[in-house]
Amino acid sequence: MDIYSVYSDAWKIFIRPERFTYTQINLGFPNRKFGNVNSQRIDMTINNNRGHDLKCSLYEPQGVENYPVVVYLHGNSGNRREAMKIVELLLP
């Protein structure tokens, strides 16, 4: 094994980590209560200009007229599941 092949394999761990696969069930129930706020998760797919599907979730508080919006974008090794901790903190 030469140094080039070792380097070639090593950078992939950081730049292109293996994708974590999950299903809608792993995102939890679409209607949930966070603190004292009932919310509804709305899942959607947006198609980008390269033709790739971007899976998105909108957590919308129920019974609240005006509320701020937080846009959370995960990194190249993340997924929608990691946003759950942030939703639990920010939604209430």
Span 31-69, pLDDT tens digits: 999 888 999 999 999 999 999 999 899 999 998 888 888
Residue spans per domain, the chain: 23-90
Separation CA 92–CA 85 (nearest Å): 12
pLDDT at 87 over 70: yes
Based on the number of CB atoms within 10 Å of its own CB, is 37 exposed (0-12), middle (13-18) or buried (19 or more)?
Answer: middle
pTM score over 0.95 = no
What confidence score (pLDDT) does residue 58 get?
Answer: 92
